[in-house]
Structures are given as C-alpha cells and as structure tokens.
Amino acid sequence: MTHVRPSAAAETSAAEPAGSPRAGWRDVVAAYVGLTKPRVMELLLLTTVPVMFFAAGGVPPLGVVLATVVGGALSSGSASALNCVYDRDIDEQMRRTRRRALPRHIVSPAAALVFGTVLGVLATVVLVVWVNVLSAVLALVAEAFYLGVYTVLLKRRTTQNIVWGGLAGCFPALIGWTAVTGELAWPPVVLFAVVFFWTPPHTWALALRYREDYANVDVPMLPVVAPASVVGRQIVLYSWATVATSLLLWPVGGTGWFYPVVAALLGVVFLAEAHRMWARARRSDSLSVIQPMRLFHMSNLYLALLFVAVAIDPLLGG
C-alpha cells in the first residue's frame, strides 16, 4: 500500500507561525482546543466518572473525581494533539478533517507537538500527585498505545486497525476504578471489554459514511476494502458481543436490579438498529439507503446511557 506523504503546503506550513496574519487570537485559541478533540475527550470521561461511582459504591470523593477528570482530559488532549501532528498529511486531504488546525495552517506542527507533549506531562503530574501512580501509569499506557500502536503501526496498514487500536479507548474504565480503589479488579475489566467490542461498530458506521475519504488517502478501514453487507455483518457480530459483555457486569460486579434492566433494554435498541443497518446494506451499497450515521449516533447514545446506569445503580442501594 502506498502511504500518503505530506503535501508541499503541509511541509512548508511547519515554518508558519501560529499567529499568522490570517488567524486572529480567537482562531488560534479555537485551533488549540480543536487539537484536543473535545468530543473524543467527552466520550472518554463519560466512561471514567461513572466507574468511579461504581467503584465507590456511591458518591466517590469529589477531590479525586476532579483530579481524575482533569488528568484524564489532559491525557486525552495530549494523545489527540500528537495524533493530529502525525496524521496531518491525510487530514489535509479528507473532507471530515481538512478543517482541523494543522491542515488550515493555523497551528504549526512544531507548536502542536510541543502543545501535545506539555499536556501529556501535566496529565502525568496531576494523576501522580492528586490521584495515584497506578492511574497515571494506565493513562500513559493508553496514550502510548493510541499513538504508537494505532496511529503509527495499524491505522494505515490493516483493516484490523480500529479493532486492536481501539484498546486505547478502553483504559478510562480501568483508570476510573483504580482512581478510587488503587487496584484493578474484574468489574472494570468487564467494562473495558464492553468498550472494546463497542468501538468497531461505532467506528465502522462512521467510516462507511466517509469511506471515499479513507480510500483516497489509502487508509484501509474495513468499509474501504469490503462491501457494505460484509461491514454490516461484522457490525452485528460486534454489537452482539457488546451487549452480551455488558450483561456480565451484573454477576461479576454484583450490581443491583437497575443496571441489568437498563443494559438489557439499551441492548435491544442497539441490536435492532445494527440489524436494520445490515439489512439495508444487503439491499444496496448506497449511503442514502444504508444510513450508517443512524447507527453511529445510536451507538453514542447507547454507551452514554449504559455508563450512566453504571453510576446510578450503586446510588439506588441494590
């Protein structure tokens, strides 16, 4: 596979200062915020804080929650910024990403590299000082995995990129638990696995929508190299694995009645949409028929509500 190399504009932009005449200070601030990918950050924190409630069996110490949220946000922002630096060549050519800071040359690659590194250092300091060393180590492992394994090794080389690269996004469940307890246990491992199985359906639905983008830059996402019907079948299989794993928290974590009821109801809705999308993909390869963004948005809602149920269950006292 031929990998895309930085364009001449991307190469020369490295020397362009962030405060160029074309960008006001508000644009520069917004660009730096954009480098952290706030929506990804929100999703990662959503799978961190509820686990802290579950680990505490109620409301965890608010100081620990605040420190974990700050440290986790800094770590997530660091990984995203450094990912933007590495992927700036393909980001410049994809419709979905060409409005990011580096393709628009508002922030230089060198500045983004420094920014991402500083965020990573601050994240480690916050987690070590105000949470614990284990949580800090887990955050560092997640960031290293996302950058080294997913971004550098897998993303541009294999259709399994998001399956195994997605492991990085599973670590917040472990971090949330260890922030409260100081040790690992089986309940957060179950939630780690839920996010692992959930990631491919979520990402492949989005990749179906932007498969031409990925094809144009030689990134072999599954929807680029396989028919939509095959992608749909894989989405259904991983969706079933997600729902089945989510129900394991009931016996493994000793939840009350609230969590398994909510998990089962959410699972039915999630699976119904996955099967509907697969059925549409078997009829046609047209995006207007497949409507993959319906599943993408549904998957976001599914995971959010599932982890909210994780937080609420211990508050109800079983």
Q: What is the mean pLDDT of each run of 10 residues along the chain (318 residues)?
A: 39 40 79 94 94 97 98 97 96 91 94 98 98 98 96 95 94 98 98 98 96 95 96 98 98 96 98 98 93 97 98 90
Taking CB atoms within 8 Å and a gap of at least 24, the contacts of 213-216 are 213/93, 213/94, 213/95, 213/96, 213/97, 214/94, 216/93, 216/94
Q: Do domains 25-181 and 185-318 have the same CATH topology?
A: no
- The CATH number corresponding to 185-318 among 3.40.190, 3.40.50, 1.10.3470, 1.20.120 equals 1.20.120
Superfamily of domain 25-181: UbiA prenyltransferase (1.10.357.140)
Give every CB contact of residue 56 below 8 A, 6+ residues apart in sequence.
180, 314
State the DSSP H helix or E strand holding residue 82, giving kind and residue range, or none if neither. Answer: helix 62-86
Q: DSSP characters for 225-248?
A: HS-HHHHHHHHHHHHHHHHHHHHH
Cβ count within 10 A of residue 123: 24
- How far apart (Å, rounded) are the C-alpha atoms in residues 9 and 43? 33
Contact 143, 72 (CB under 8 A): no
Distances (CA, A) of 182 to 91, 100, 206, 281, 306: 39, 38, 36, 46, 24
Measured at the CA of 126, the angle between CA 125 and CA 127, to 5 degrees, comes to: 95
pLDDT of residue 5: 39
pTM check: above 0.85: yes
pLDDT of residue 24: 82
- Domain positions in the chain: 25-181, 185-318
Give every CB contact of residue 26 below 8 A, 6+ residues apart in sequence.
none
